[in-house]
């Protein structure tokens, strides 16, 4: 269970960490980017965005192993590592991960609602559509946006 963090600055008394001063009430992606920004300022940084992608492939392999082992605790840890790394990748590219995910959520919702509407026009409730029908409809929605 996650503990409730105070809405003040994340700072222990007498602490002199490079990570001092990061607000605890930031969203998880914003906090991840801030943590990694502060670490980068003291040299704890990847040399390129491609290096981060290499690390992502390593983390995905570790997730595959956790899935194969049916280890839910390790899967949760690996998912956290992947999300943290993706936030760092966004930061490295100068992209706000929070905003990118927000835009992706909107895109998904728009496409899914369009898929539902198209299926309804065809007389097929989405619950009765096959996966291949839904995938085809999804691709139709993507094509409409191009």
Rg (CA), the chain: 20
Q: 71-76: list long-range contacts, CB under 8 Å, 24+ apart.
A: none
The predicted structure's pLDDT at residue 14: 65
The residues near 41 (Cβ < 8 Å, ≥ 6 apart) are 18
Q: Please tell me the predicted confidence (pLDDT) of residue 61.
A: 98
- Give the architecture (CATH level 2) of 20-95: Orthogonal Bundle (1.10)
For 2-23, give one letter per residue: b (16+ CB within 10 A) or e.
Answer: eeeeeeeebeeeeeeeeeeebe
**pLDDT of amino acid 13:** 52
Indicate the pTM of the whole model. 0.81
The token pair that represents 64 in the structure block: 């595959």
pLDDT, block means (10 residues), the chain with 146 residues: 42 75 92 95 94 97 98 98 96 95 97 97 96 97 94
């Amino acid at each position: 269970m996650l503990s409730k963090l105070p809405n003040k600055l994340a700072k222990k008394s007498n602490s002199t960490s490079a990570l001092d001063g990061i607000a605890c009430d930031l969203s998880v992606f914003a906090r991840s980017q801030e943590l990694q920004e502060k670490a980068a300022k003291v040299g704890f940084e990847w040399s390129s965005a491609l290096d981060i992608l290499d690390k992502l492939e390593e983390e995905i392999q570790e997730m595959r192993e956790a899935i194969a082992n049916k280890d839910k605790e390790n899967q949760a840890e690996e998912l956290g590592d992947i999300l943290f790394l993706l936030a760092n990748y966004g930061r490295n590219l100068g992209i706000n991960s929070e905003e990118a995910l927000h835009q992706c959520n909107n895109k998904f919702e728009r496409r899914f609602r369009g898929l539902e509407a198209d299926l309804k026009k065809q007389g097929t409730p989405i619950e009765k559509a096959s996966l291949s029908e839904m995938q085809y409809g999804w691709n139709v929605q993507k094509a409409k946006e191009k």
